[in-house]
Amino acid sequence: MATTRPRAGGSVRKVTSKNDPCPHGKGAKCDCRWRVQYVDGSGRQRERKFDTKAQADAHLTEVNKAKITTGSVPGHLTGDSPTVEQLCDKWFAHRADFTPGTVRNYRSKCRCHIVPFFGATTMVSKITNDQVEQFRDHLYAEEISPGEVITIISSVLKGMLEYAHEKGWVGRNPCIGVRFKPVPENEVYLPTRQNVLDMAEKIDPFYRLTIFLQALLGLRAGEVMGGSWDCIRDGYFRAYRQLDTAGELIPLKGKKEGEYRDIPIPPQMAEEFERHGHLYGREGWFFRSPRRPGYPIGRTAHTTAFNTARLMLGFHDGSFVPQCLRHYFCTNMVRVTQNIALVAVWAGHASVQTTYDNYFHYVDEDIRIGAAASALFLRPDFIEAAEAGKPVNDLVISPLREPGKKPRRRHLAGVAAGPL
């Protein structure tokens, strides 16, 4: 049996007492509001009010178009949509792929910024593009950093409203088209060898190992605090978990439970493991919590110890942070190995493009090969070989090679020892 779609129809009238004529006269331009009435796909009568007749007519047109094409009227037209607070809960329940740390972070942004601005009981269908732009300006006025503003709106609010759009609670996502201030690119401070050694001497002896775990193995701060003696294998370090800012153990960034990465252990790192084990024991966590049995100490304690040592060395501007030690590792690894892909694996970058963008300028040989290759473009033998379909690779000779000789194999054992 064929399905009968509801027919178009409805009315647009001025809002007056008992449907009386407009007191300002027929056709008069006045401040009276306009009421749209229609029957939705389920047979229920609906109405909405607007400030102008043009808005009311446009709304009725959208309603009738939806009724004819889909047989129903979506929630963003009828006004049936969850509140902002309800949408937050529904979105987080829908995003089961979020890690606990992401949920805590995003919920905090909803609780502190999104819900207070739009109102907990505001219907999601009433959020407009202009309101989102007002929200953006409000965040800037509160001196929220440009990067954080982008995260709050583009990652959290836009994600929530995209889910609402999929459910029919809003029309076009009102976050689309919102523009932001550019995020200033702060150059990461690259420590010197002496900076690293001085930090190791100044920091609380209990945290001395953290300096070398980042400078010689390239671990992230959470991976450092989530490290334990079972991570040390035969000649390499296996990183397979991290401690998040809430004190919970979670998988590595960009990896699933059970995934890991292996990093070679240089002689200096082995010596630091021996030193730490001799002073604090060789079982369980490197940095055991005195308050939470079976857990490592929190990341805040490590940050405090690092900042104390940093200030003792005269770094008062905040440029020297734990991440700088990881930057030291990646920079020197690329300088020594000249292998972007290998460093990307050891550093745990989600994409080799990240390593390329940040460290390719240290790959001297590849730059020289590129210059040598471009020098061939106007050589007759290159043009003849290319037009004849013959290999042209042998015409590009690296300045590090002599014609006819194979390139020397680089031995990577112990290269991490190079920086110190």
With respect to residue 127, please indicate whether it lies within any of the assigned structural domains: yes
Residue 188, token pair as written in the block: 């990461």
Q: What's the pLDDT score for residue 204?
A: 96
Mean pLDDT, residues 88-96 = 92
For all residues of the chain together, what is the average pLDDT? 82
pLDDT of residue 394: 56
In the predicted model, is pLDDT for residue 407 greater than 50?
Answer: no
Please report the pLDDT score of residue 411 as a whole number: 34
**What range defines the domain where residue 134 resides?**
84-166
* pLDDT(14) > 50: yes
Instruction: Give me the residues paired with residue 83 across strands.
Output: 123
Evaluate if residue 317 carries a pLDDT over 60: yes
The per-residue pLDDT for 376 is 59
Q: Closest Cα partner for 159 from 171, 174, 139, 148? A: 174
Q: Does the pLDDT of residue 80 top 80, yes or no?
A: no
pLDDT band at 382 (very low <50, low <70, confident <90, very high): low
pLDDT of residue 415: 39
For the stretch 184-207, pLDDT in tens is 777 788 999 999 999 999 999 999
How high is the pLDDT of residue 12?
76
Q: Does residue 256 sit in the same domain as residue 365?
A: yes
Give the model confidence (pLDDT) of 122-132 as tens digits.
888 889 999 99
Percent of the chain with pLDDT over 70: 80
pLDDT at position 370: 61
The tokens of 140 are what?
Answer: 């800037």
Q: Are 248 and 154 found together in one domain?
A: no
pLDDT at 391 over 70: no
98 closest CA partner among 54, 144, 160, 36 = 160
Q: Which secondary-structure segment (H or E) carries 353? A: helix 352-359
Residues in the chain: 420
User: Stretch 393-398: mean pLDDT, rounded?
Assistant: 49
CB atoms within 10 A of CB 51: 11
Return the minimum-mean-pLDDT range out of 5-9, 137-141, 392-396, 413-417.
413-417
CATH number at 265 reads 1.10.443.10
Q: Which of 82-86, 259-263, 397-401 has the highest mean pLDDT?
A: 259-263
Tell which residue, 236, 285, 224, 228, has the closest CA to residue 262. Answer: 236
128 and 266: one domain? Answer: no
pLDDT for the residue 371: 54
Q: Are 372 and 398 contacting, i.e. CB atoms less than 8 angstroms apart? A: yes
Residue 316 falls within a domain, yes or no? Answer: yes
In this structure, the answer to whether residues 289 and 214 fall within a common structural domain is yes
Per-residue pLDDT tens for 143-168? Answer: 998 989 999 999 999 999 999 888 87
Same domain, 62 and 139: no
Tell me whether residue 6 is in a domain.
no
User: Domain ends where: 118, 151, 166?
Assistant: 166
pLDDT tens digits for range 286-315: 999 888 888 899 899 999 999 999 999 999
Q: How high is the pLDDT of residue 414? A: 36
Q: Is 78 a member of any domain?
A: no
User: Over 60: is that where the pLDDT of 2 sits?
Assistant: no
Report long-range pairs for 403-411 (Cβ below 8 Å, ≥24 apart): 410/337, 410/338, 410/339
Question: pLDDT-based confidence at 172, cuts 50/70/90?
Answer: confident
Q: What are phi and psi of 123, to 5 degrees?
A: -70, 135
Give me the number of domains the chain comprises: 3
Indicate whether 64 and 106 sit together in one domain.
no
Tens of pLDDT, residue by residue over 327-366, are 999 999 988 888 888 999 999 998 888 888 888 777 766 5
- Same domain for 145 and 275, yes or no, is no
